[in-house]
Amino acid sequence: MSKLALLFLGIFGVGIIGALFYDSSLSFLLYQLVYFLDPKERWWGHQLPDISYSFISSILMLLVLAFNYQKLSKFNPWKGHPALIWLAALLMCYYLAYFWAVDMYMQQRFTYDFMKLVVVVFAAYKLINTKKSLDWSLWAYIIGCTYIGYLATSTGRNAGDRVEGIALPSTGGDVNPVAAALVPAGVLLLYFAWMGNKKIKVLCIFCGALIANGLVLFNSRGAFLGASVSTSIYLLYMIFSRHRQPGQRGVAIFIIALGIGGFFYVADNLFWQRMSTIDNAHDKDSGRGRIQFWFAALKMMKDHPLGLGIYGFNVLSSHYLTDEQRGGVHYRAVHSLWFQGLTEVGWHGMIIFLSMLFTLYRLSRRARRAILAEKDYAAFFKLLALECGLIGYLVTSTFINQFRAEILYWFVLLVAAGTNIYYLRPELERQQEAKVSKRVLRNKVKT
């Protein structure tokens, strides 16, 4: 058995034991690592016992949640965060779409998958209930992305100007979603490199080098845009925010210089040639080339305002796009998270999705304000990094179908968990302490 296979079995076993006997949040970390390691798709996976490691890690999450439900629900109830309520409503929209879905097989198959993802998000929200468990989860994600970067680096370009053949669960063999999964890692690495000690900074440089090289090799234009937007927003805060600590501006400038220098070192001519075609209207896969698909989606919504169900746009694309516009392909995807969601669950479902994002942002902004009042600047920049990571993923997914993507809802979860840990939970604790104080005072008055 190879060393990687043995390492995976060791991680899997330690994760199970740790979740059962040390900290229940480790079950979600195990789920994250299994998602990225994805043993069934790796060359060393055939050496492992033929079992569903993802299913076992999911069941482990539900088991530890059931055993600790009362304790975990005390300060992080599901109804306490409105974004989770909107997420549950979005899931209901998919079940409602059964009545008019164009492709019932795809509707049943992927609605079931989305339901499992929503269950994982709800379970993980209760499990990630401390600052420590949130940091663990962020590092589990970063380590997973680093492994994908390592795979891309060791594989090299094997399909013209990009890497192909590296997959994640539910990506369907397309590397664009794999590249999108790496995008939020850049902002998180900026945060940890800025706020961490020397060892953390070295680790961030190592992870960042592999992840950046992986993004270059994947050559995804959407991922490049998403990473550029998210890191640019965060870098502006790092340099110009009045809440930074003494000496942090110099550290920020050094990190920026190191990151830019490293990126230009790994970005070769093939990468820049592909990035130069982002606005090429004659390229069906470029941003401007895909706008015609988006207009077709709007035309579909005039005829089907309630949506078409999963894969509905693909089935009806030949009725709204010419053969030339479809590039000779009969079934054509809409290539956008926003229009994918619109055509799948209709206007009402898209309003629910946008409401989820809006409430997530509004509560996160409140949390950042409350944190600033306590002068906890590290927590402020952590929440900001999570927000920027989600923004980067949304920008990337504007050009690919990722409305039901795992990583998207992981970051919805992480922003919600961070908001709960730093804002909702302390507020709830203060309210309960106030009630206890009033009760004690009332009893003293009676006696």
User: Looking at the chain, how many residues does it have?
Assistant: 447
Those residues with Cβ within 8 angstroms of residue 419's Cβ, 6 or more apart along the chain or in another chain: 81, 360, 363, 364, 366, 367, 383
Token pair, residue 53, equals 């490691």
Report the 3 state secondary structure along 83-151: HHHHHHHHHHHHHHHHHCCCCHHHHHHHHHHHHHHHHHHHHHHHHCCCHHHHHHHHHHHHHHHHHHHHH
Amino acid at 201: K
Q: Please, what sign has the CA dihedral across residues 253, 255, 260, 265?
A: positive
Token pair, residue 298, equals 């709007």
Q: Which of 378, 312, 353, 446 is nearest to 83 (CA)?
A: 353
| pLDDT of res. 281 | 46
* Region for residue 156 given its phi and psi (left: phi exceeds 0; alpha: psi -120 to 50; beta: otherwise): left
What are residue 159's phi and psi, to 5 degrees? -145, 65
- The model carries a pTM of 0.91
Residues 129, 130, 135: CA angle, nearest 5 degrees:
110
Token pair, residue 157, equals 């370009």
Those residues with Cβ within 8 angstroms of residue 406's Cβ, 6 or more apart along the chain or in another chain: 35, 117, 168, 169, 170, 181
Q: Distance between alpha carbon 440 and the CA centroid of its chain, in Å?
A: 45
* Long-range contact set of residues 272-281: C-beta below 8 Å, sequence gap at least 24: 273/161, 274/161, 274/162, 274/219, 274/221, 275/221, 275/224, 277/221, 278/221, 278/224, 278/225
Q: Which of 227, 223, 210 is nearest to 153 (CA)?
A: 210
Helices (H), 332-397: 337-373, 377-397
**How far is it, in rounded angstroms, from Cα 126 to Cα 140?**
17
349 class by beta-carbon count within 10 Å (0-12 exposed, 13-18 middle, 19+ buried): buried
Q: Whose structure tokens read 């600047």?
A: 377
Those residues with Cβ within 8 angstroms of residue 279's Cβ, 6 or more apart along the chain or in another chain: 286, 287, 288
Q: Please, what sign has the CA dihedral across residues 158, 163, 169, 173?
A: negative
Q: Distance between alpha carbon 349 and the CA centroid of its chain, in Å?
A: 20
| pLDDT of res. 31 | 96
Q: List beta partners, residue 82.
A: none
- Residue 36's CB: how many other CB atoms inside 10 A? 19
Residues 288, 317, 395: CA angle, nearest 5 degrees:
40
Report, in this order, helix, strand and coil percent for the chain, each rounded to 5: 75, 0, 25
Along the 447 residues of the chain, how does pLDDT read in single tens digits? 788 889 999 999 999 999 999 999 999 999 999 999 988 888 888 889 888 999 999 999 999 999 988 888 877 888 889 999 999 999 999 999 999 999 999 999 999 999 999 999 999 999 999 999 999 999 999 999 999 999 999 988 877 778 888 888 877 778 889 999 999 999 999 999 888 888 999 999 999 989 988 888 888 888 888 998 999 899 888 887 777 666 666 777 777 776 666 666 566 565 556 555 555 544 555 445 678 889 999 999 999 999 999 999 999 988 888 888 777 777 888 989 999 999 999 999 999 999 999 999 999 999 999 998 888 888 999 999 999 999 999 999 998 999 999 999 999 999 999 999 999 888 777 776 666 666 666 666 666
**How far is it, in rounded angstroms, from Cα 181 to Cα 214?**
11
Label residues 176-192 b or e (16+ Cβ within 10 Å = b).
bbbbbbbbbbbbbbbbb
Token pair, residue 260, equals 């830019």
* Cβ–Cβ < 8 Å for 346, 399: no
Q: Whose structure tokens read 């590039």?
A: 327
Q: List beta partners, residue 162.
A: 159
Amino acid at 162: R
* Cβ–Cβ < 8 Å for 441, 70: no
Those residues with Cβ within 8 angstroms of residue 266's Cβ, 6 or more apart along the chain or in another chain: 209, 212, 213, 216
